[in-house]
Amino acid sequence: MAFKKLDSDAVSSTLSRPVDAFVCQQMDANVREAHAERGRGAGKSYGSDKRPTLASANVSCVPLSPWAVSPSCTEITCKLRGLATSDGAGGIALNVRLMAQTLGGVVYDDLSNATILDSASEQEKELTLDATPFQGETVIVWLVFQSELITTSTASDDRHNTDLDDFNYVINLGNTINGTYDDTKRWQVTFSEDSTGSSPAEPYAYPGPSMIVHDEGNDHVFVLPRLDGRLNDYAKFRVTITEIGRFLLYGWSLTETTLTEPAPLTDALRPAMVPRARTYSEIYRRERALVAERTRVVHVGGSDDFEATGRRWGLGELSDPGGTAHEAYQALGGELPTYRVDSATATLVYRRRYRALALVAGVTVDTSLSHFQITAEVTITDLGTGNTHQPTPTGATIELTPLGAVFPDIANASGDRLWVDFSDSQHLDGTWSYADVVNGKHGLRLLDLTFEEASPAASTSARVIQIQVTDDTTEAGGDYLAAGLKLYFPAMTLLIDEGF
């Protein structure tokens, strides 16, 4: 079906319908077409110095962004654009798919991977997600991925349990392996019986693969996941590193590509049927419903703060209990005025209303800090006038349960999350284990904020919207500041809400 228009041939056709009936028919057809063909979409691109690299020895995932799914949406499409590197001969670099997780924790994953092939040129990969089970809900859209091994690029050597350090997050590769290791690439590390057969795998077996995530220097590297403690029971073992495929991500987009249109009003437009006024009323209702349903998406993803390695996904901040608010997210949007009708004065009031869906996670080594509250603040700056104001958002306070983390050099630290000082800045690897996500161990909470501009303004100038977060933790635990709490902001979706 295509969009309709009024012309003399149609009016004088054999249908012999009055002009108003024909106009209603075409309006109805266009509204239904808009329902089906004009789904919401948004995208994110990265500057050349801030492009993240997707690579993982195990199945990992990153949250692209929260998404408020339209009630009639049945399919979401994601397009990835970037540069894949593998064996240099067109082999598979990465296996990828989309997964959705509802706010109640239900995971929708069809386990069907697509492949990204090695290429010297940038490429685009399209992925789809069946949205039928969660129409009208807010979900987190995850990108799930795992690298393929490049078996032509590998190195092995015997190492000892004395080469393990920092709670088994660090291993000394030695000169032999380090001669092959290149920090600009991505590597899997595996363990097996040493070359002399002095440490057989029985009875514990060797741990599964990990991935090198940081070069500490002097042949020492950090790995994720942390090496299993049973590795310490082997005095000697064989270490093998193997290069894995990677995808340098230039940008991505999410679009609602398949939607269900409402039933046609054709029968109501025949002679002696529903009065025309009611037909116009229904068309108007559908148009307003479409406007309310398809709120414009003006921002998706995180606010970038990548390390030089490109391994971080989002932004991490060291907490300052009761202190200055953390800059969590920043977005540019609102270039068109939103209006609502003041029924008392029969006038239009120009006032933008926003909805922000912002993800937050926390990590700590302080086992006494089981949960705490965080509060969001909003600042809006009009780029046209320079005016700045801070509306009061609804849903601004939530409770956060931090993940356990390890900060090396703290003797009593324990946990399953790496967050350490790499050279001069804090670094969180920024990807999640797929198993942790499907088992509800991801630690993410959603701030669902709604706020309006403080005063009416008909300006069409763009706005900068900043989301800041403070926490209400105290130093009651004594060693709290030494142990540390860090907040992580991986992704936010900002909508301009016209559903008045």
Arithmetic mean of pLDDT over the chain: 81
In angstroms, what CA-CA distances link 395 with 257, 338, 375, 399, 449?
30, 22, 9, 11, 5
Q: Supply 430's token pair.
A: 């920024």
Model confidence at 457, pLDDT cuts 50, 70, 90, reads low
Taken in order 473, 479, 482, 483, is the CA torsion positive or negative?
A: negative
> If you search the block for the tokens 């977005």, which residue do you land on?
331
Model confidence at 274, pLDDT cuts 50, 70, 90, reads low
> If you search the block for the tokens 């991500």, which residue do you land on?
249
pLDDT in tens, 428-455: 457 888 988 998 888 899 999 999 887 6
In angstroms, what CA-CA distances link 98 with 133, 147, 484?
14, 15, 34
The letter for the amino acid at 106 is V
**Region(s) of the chain under CATH 2.60.120.200:** 41-148+247-259
> Exposure of 277 by Cβ count < 10 A (0-12 exposed, 13-18 middle, 19+ buried)?
exposed
Amino acid 348: pLDDT:
65
**CATH 2.60.120.200 is right for the domain spanning 41-148+247-259:** yes
pLDDT in tens, 331-354: 887 655 555 666 677 666 667 788
Q: How far is it, in rounded angstroms, from Cα 69 to Cα 102?
A: 11
Is the pLDDT confidence value at 273 over 60? no
Q: How far apart are the first and last CA of the chain?
A: 30
Amino acid 475: pLDDT:
47
For the domain 150-244, what is the CATH code? 2.60.40
Please, what is the angle between helix 19-37 and helix 276-293, to 10°?
Answer: 20
Q: Supply 115's token pair.
A: 């492949």
Weakest-pLDDT range from 40-44, 118-122, 261-265, 378-382: 261-265
How remote is the C-alpha of 95 from its chain's centroid?
18
Q: What pairing do the DSSP bridges indicate for beta strands 403-404 and 353-364?
A: parallel
How remote is the C-alpha of 487 from its chain's centroid?
16
Specify whether the CB–CB gap between 243 and 185 falls below 8 A: yes
Cis status, amide bond into 225, omega within 30 of 0: yes
Model confidence at 90, pLDDT cuts 50, 70, 90, reads confident
Model confidence at 319, pLDDT cuts 50, 70, 90, reads confident
Q: Which residue has the higher pLDDT, 477 or 387?
A: 387
Cis status, amide bond into 490, omega within 30 of 0: no
Number of Cβ within a 10 Å radius of residue 90: 12
The letter for the amino acid at 79 is K
In angstroms, what CA-CA distances link 318 with 151, 165, 305, 426?
39, 24, 14, 8
User: Which whole number is the average pLDDT over 10-35?
Assistant: 69
In sequence order, the β-bridge partners of residue 252 are 44, 80
Q: What percent of the chain has pLDDT over 70?
A: 77
In sequence order, the β-bridge partners of residue 421 are 426
Q: How far is it, in rounded angstroms, from Cα 304 to Cα 475?
A: 30
Q: State the Cα angle at 149 between 49 and 173, rounded to 5°.
A: 80
Comparing C-alpha atoms, which of 468, 495, 493, 480 is closest to residue 374?
A: 468
Give 437-467 as a DSSP string. Answer: HHTT-S--EEEEEEEE-SS-------EEEEE
Q: Supply 46's token pair.
A: 């990265």
User: Which whole number is the average pLDDT over 144-148?
Assistant: 96
Taken in order 434, 436, 438, 444, is the CA torsion positive or negative?
A: negative
| Residue 339 three-state SS | strand
Specify whether the CB–CB gap between 451 and 394 falls below 8 A: yes
SS3 of 19-68: the string is HHHHHHHHHHHHHHHHHHHCCCEEEEECCCCCCCEECCCCCEEEEEEEEE
User: Which whole number is the average pLDDT over 39-67?
Assistant: 90
**Region(s) of the chain under CATH 2.60.40:** 150-244
Specify whether the CB–CB gap between 473 and 319 falls below 8 A: yes
Q: How far is it, in rounded angstroms, from Cα 418 to Cα 426?
A: 11
Comparing C-alpha atoms, which of 118, 120, 122, 114 is closest to residue 145?
A: 114
User: Which whole number is the average pLDDT over 68-92?
Assistant: 91
Amino acid 139: pLDDT:
97
The letter for the amino acid at 443 is G
Q: How far is it, in rounded angstroms, from Cα 200 to Cα 178?
A: 25
User: Which whole number is the average pLDDT over 257-267?
Assistant: 81
Q: Supply 36's token pair.
A: 């089906």
List, in order, residues 6 or more apart from 252 with CB less than 8 Å away: 43, 44, 64, 78, 79, 80, 81, 143, 301
